[in-house]
Amino acid sequence: MNEDQLTVLMIKYLKENKKSAFEKVLDELQPYDIAQLYRNLPEKHHLKFLLFLTPKEIADLIQELESDLQIEIIHRLGVEKSSKIMDLMENDNLADLLSELSVENIQEYLSVMKAEDSTYIQNLMSYSADTAGGLMTNQFMSIKDDYTVQDAVDKLKSFAEMNHTIYYLYVINDDKQLVGVVSYRDLVLADTNERISNIMFNRVISVPVDLDQEEVANLIERYDFIALPVVDENHKLLGIVTVDDVIDVVIQEANEDIEKLSASGKDIDFYTKATTAAFRRLPWLILLLFIGLISGSIISGFEETLEQVVALVFFMPMIAGMTGNTGTQSLAVVVRGLITHKLDKKTILNLIIREFGVGIIVGIICGLLIAIIALVWMGSIIALVVGISLILTLIIGTLAGTIIPLLLYKLGVDPAVASGPLITTLNDIFSLIVYFSFATAFLAYL
């Protein structure tokens, strides 16, 4: 059964009020699929659909949806029912949801929650969304270091309903400081009378609550963890970041790099409105328009040369374009490389020398090629001007595409904002200056 067939079937059950048939189908679906179904349903069926779900199922559904649909559900269900559902949500997702609501609404929901949860969520909301604190959840199980394995299993059993996603148990001391970690597997394999402190792994890697999410993702990726504990400055355990959130971070960071490299503006997807998308892209475009005009004023400085040899214009797009292309290629290597490499002086120097080498090789091959073509098309002097210009501009383009993002990085600016279009536009300017200067110098022979 494909998605469309499933949607049609569920609408039928909703219309005919067949709750048990509905539940039977729903039971086979994962939260992601239920969310897809909810998106596909016409809006008039939304309330009925929600009434057919258990609070747990609604909590799972909400965590898969976009914030506008989340808020719609919250408002449909009202404060009392919503707060029950919020109790069942993972706290990191809940904090994200609440941060979308108005201040009065937030207060209203927090006031009906358990005091403990309410405090935790207010804390979570105070951390920046792109730090370990913004990613973490309190859906983890902690045990005391003086427990036995049997004590731990008993605690687990009594909280069995709550902690459904977690694979490690974190061990804390009397001061609530993180001192070790035990996997469920360790519990299965250990003797029931064994002390937790004897079977736990005590060199736990943890992260401070204000660590950047990209660093958190790097650690999890590097060490192949499925969860990472988050601690405060006193090493008190605050929460955990799980691997599924990290995958989302990795995808988000890659998308941001591509957005910046293409200057395509933040958060534009297939469903963004045209006006929103246009106004997110316009700032970049207007900036690039003005930089593009600089090229124009440079050319106007060579007006005399141009009037004498209009044929020079024929090669202008190719030279400017090629310089932009080599710049973009170097830029991409630098931006992606920065994700996994630390930048010491030696690495930077090697990279610049390497790209200089690339520029020379690429420049000579493309320069010779175009000189031969220009020779056949236009004669020897133009061939000489175009060939030498291309060699020089390709070397400059490659170096600009390497050095500008590295400089930005060293200045603490994200190098991806040096974006393909920006490098391309700058390289336009460099290449036109080189090309027309050569042409003017050789003007007597042209």
Span 96-155, contacts to a copy of itself by CB under 8 A: 153
Q: Is the dihedral of CA 355, 285, 431, 316 positive or negative?
A: positive
Q: Residues 6 or more apart from 422 whose CB is under 8 A from it? A: 263, 288, 291
Window contacting a copy of itself (CB under 8 A); options: 91-99, 120-128, 159-167, 403-411: 159-167
Min separation Cβ 433 and a copy of itself, Å? 12
Query: Of 151 and 232, which CB lies nearer to a copy of itself in the complex structure?
Result: 151
Nearer to a copy of itself by Cβ, of 117 and 256: the residue is 256
Q: Which of 1, 20, 28, 376 binds a copy of itself (CB under 8 A)?
A: 28
Task: Name the CA radius of gyration of the chain, rounded.
Answer: 30
88 binds a copy of itself (CB under 8 A): no
Count, residues near a copy of itself per rule CB under 8 A: 116
Rounded least distance, CB 395 to a copy of itself, Å: 12
Among 9, 156, 417, 443, binds a copy of itself (CB under 8 A): 156
Which of 54, 111, 272, 380 binds a copy of itself (CB under 8 A)? It is: 272
Residue 409 corresponds to which tokens in the numbers above? 């990085």
User: Does 432 participate in binding a copy of itself (rule CB under 8 A)?
Assistant: yes
Closest CA to 178 of 116, 232, 122: 232
d(CA 213, CA 230): 12
Comparing CB distances to a copy of itself, the nearer of 110 and 132 is 132
- What's the min distance (Å) between Cβ of 17 and a copy of itself? 26
In the list 57, 92, 96, 257, the residue contacting a copy of itself (rule: CB under 8 A) is: 257
Tell me how far, at minimum, the Cβ of 100 lies from a copy of itself, in Å.
21
51/254 with CB nearer a copy of itself: 254
CB of 294 to a copy of itself, least distance (A): 9
**Cα 118 to Cα 140: distance, rounded to the nearest angstrom:** 17
Among the candidate windows 7-15, 114-122, 232-240, 255-263, which touches a copy of itself by CB under 8 A?
A: 255-263
SS3 letters for the chain?
CCHHHHHHHHHHHHHCCCHHHHHHHHHCCCHHHHHHHHHHCCHHHHHHHHHHCCHHHHHHHHHHCCHHHHHHHHHHHHHHHHHHHHHHCCHHHHHHHHCCCCHHHHHHHHHHCCHHHHHHHHHHHHCCCCEHHHHCECCCEEEECCCEHHHHHHHHHHCCCCCCCCCEEEEECCCCEEEEEEEHHHHHHCCCCCEHHHHCECCCCCEECCCEHHHHHHHHHHHCCCEEEEECCCCEEEEEEEHHHHHHHHHHHHHHHHHHHCCCCCCCCCCCCHHHHHHHHHHHHHHHHHHHHHHHHHHHHCHHHHHHCHHHHHHHHHHHHHHHHHHHHHHHHHHHHHHHCCCCHHHHHHHHHHHHHHHHHHHHHHHHHHHHHHHHHHCHHHHHHHHHHHHHHHHHHHHHHHHHHHHHHHCCCCHHHHCHHHHHHHHHHHHHHHHHHHHHHCHHHC
Q: Which of 272, 275, 110, 240 is nearest to 169 (CA)?
A: 240
Identity of the residue, 125 or 373, whose beta carbon is nearer to a copy of itself in the bound complex = 373
Positions 318 through 337 that interact with a copy of itself (CB under 8 A): 318, 320-322, 324-326, 328-333, 335-337
**Considering beta carbons, is residue 51 or 353 the nearer one to a copy of itself?**
353
- Residue 345 interacts with a copy of itself (CB under 8 A)? no
Contact range with a copy of itself by CB under 8 A, out of 67-75, 98-106, 114-122, 420-428: 420-428
**Sites for a copy of itself among residues 274-303 (CB under 8 A):** 274-275, 277-279, 281-282, 284-286, 288-289, 292-293, 295-297, 299-300, 303
From the list 8, 47, 162, 254, which residue makes contact with a copy of itself (rule: CB under 8 A)? 254
Interaction with a copy of itself in 225-244: which residues (CB under 8 A)?
226, 243-244
Quick one: which segment of 38-46, 102-110, 219-227, 403-411 binds a copy of itself (CB under 8 A)?
A: 219-227
Ramachandran angles phi, psi of 413, nearest 5°: -100, 140
Residue 230 and residue 136 in contact, taking contact as beta carbons nearer than 8 Å? yes
Residues 364-393 that bind a copy of itself (CB under 8 A): 365-366, 369-370, 373
Smallest gap from residue 105 Cβ to a copy of itself (A): 28
Site membership for a copy of itself, residue 194 (CB under 8 A): no
Determine if 67 is a binding residue for a copy of itself (CB under 8 A): no
Which part of the chain contacts a copy of itself (CB under 8 A), choosing from 46-54, 124-132, 207-215, 363-371? 363-371
CB of 276 to a copy of itself, least distance (A): 9
Q: Given candidates 160, 376, 411, 444, which one binds a copy of itself under the rule CB under 8 A?
A: 160
